Amino acid sequence: MNTQSLFSAWLKRSVSNLLKSLNAPDKQKVQQKQLLRLRQLLINLHELSQLPQEGNNAQHRLAYKSMLKICNKLIRDCHKRQLLMFRVLRGRIHTTLNELEDKSCDKWLGASRKLNEQLVYIIDEVIHPYLLGEYRETDYFDYTLFWQCWMDCKETQFRLERAILRYEHKAVASCQSVNLQSKVLLKRIFQLHDAALIKDKRKLDSIANRLTALTELTGEQTKSKMMMLTEASEELETHMFKMFDANLLAIIGIEHQLKTASLSVFKTHTKQSS
């Protein structure tokens, strides 16, 4: 091989390495921006779950339209390999909005749950390459453990919520289903407890103790038991959201700010209205 060929090969390798070094930080910035936008969607969805589930609620429609705008930004700025993923997410938001317009609480709950689940899965899809791209293997394994325990707990919490809803509608064997899901949820909380931070362990212990006491209520206490189970489930849902949000921000490297005007569609709307 002559000198010119050697120089040409060296130049190609040098340019390739240079491009890689330039593209890596840019890729990390894009992924970080995606995670922040996905977090915004998660916050909006959580705030929606705290509102009355009524089909004519203007705040619901406002939130979903805001979420669609965020999805459009994700689609606009994403890598072509991510295009389908974000388009499917946008379609899921459309579906949830349509279920809201149908004024069916049960359908809306199901659609909302699927949207929440898909959103968390997409966040997971973005976080993995983000952490590995920064060579944060320890954070990667810690997050993977937390994510799996969190998802299992979230899934069971939703099943309990649906079982309580069926009980309120006088469905057959719904009381037995509530008892079963309560016990399963306790196991999931204990699993999440092992992957949680110390400050989160105390709150999980408190919720677990309440659930343990409630599972022992029977007979005439059933109605009050369902009300208290609903309260415990809602408290768990809120705390799990805070846990996931704090974990996400820790990974991105941004200080935990759960309530910020820029991320809350409802606060933004209030300012515009005033």
Q: What is the DSSP string of 112-145?
A: HHHHHHHHHHHHHHHHHHHHHHTT-HHHHHHHHH
Question: Which residues contact residue 237 at a Cβ distance below 8 angstroms, ignoring those fewer than 6 apart?
Answer: 49, 157
Task: Determine the Cα–Cα distance for residues 274 and 263; give it in Å rounded to an integer.
Answer: 18
- Return phi, psi of residue 79, to 5°: -70, 150
233 and 164 Cβ atoms separated by less than 8 Å: yes
28 and 72 Cβ atoms separated by less than 8 Å: no
Overall fold of domain 136-255: Four Helix Bundle (Hemerythrin (Met), subunit A) (1.20.120)
Half-sphere exposure of 4 (CA within 13 A, CB side): 0
Cα-based angle 124, 197, 138 (whole degrees, multiple of 5)? 50
Question: Which residues contact residue 21 at a Cβ distance below 8 angstroms, ignoring those fewer than 6 apart?
Answer: none
253 and 44 Cβ atoms separated by less than 8 Å: no
Instruction: Specify the amino acid at residue 146.
Output: F
Helix (H, G, I), strand (E, B) or coil at 222: helix
Tens-of-pLDDT digits for all 274 residues of the chain?
Answer: 555 555 455 445 544 553 444 355 577 888 899 999 999 999 988 888 777 655 456 777 888 888 999 999 999 998 888 999 999 999 988 888 777 665 556 666 777 788 888 999 999 999 988 888 877 888 888 899 999 999 999 999 989 988 888 887 666 667 788 888 999 999 999 999 998 888 899 999 999 998 888 876 666 667 788 888 889 998 999 999 999 999 999 888 864 444 443 444 444 444 444 4
- Give, as one character, the DSSP assignment of residue 50: T
Task: Determine the Cα–Cα distance for residues 195 and 188; give it in Å rounded to an integer.
Answer: 11
Task: Determine the Cα–Cα distance for residues 23 and 226; give it in Å rounded to an integer.
Answer: 54
Per-domain residue ranges for the chain? 32-135, 136-255
Mind listing the pLDDT tens digit for each residue in 250-260? Answer: 888 864 444 44
Two domains, one topology: 32-135 and 136-255: yes
Mind listing the pLDDT tens digit for each residue in 108-165? Answer: 677 778 888 899 999 999 998 888 887 788 888 889 999 999 999 999 998 998 888 8
Task: Determine the Cα–Cα distance for residues 236 and 258; give it in Å rounded to an integer.
Answer: 16
Closest CA to 96 of 125, 64, 71, 49: 64
Helix (H, G, I), strand (E, B) or coil at 98: helix
What homologous superfamily is domain 32-135 in, according to CATH?
Nucleotidyltransferases  domain 2 (1.20.120.330)
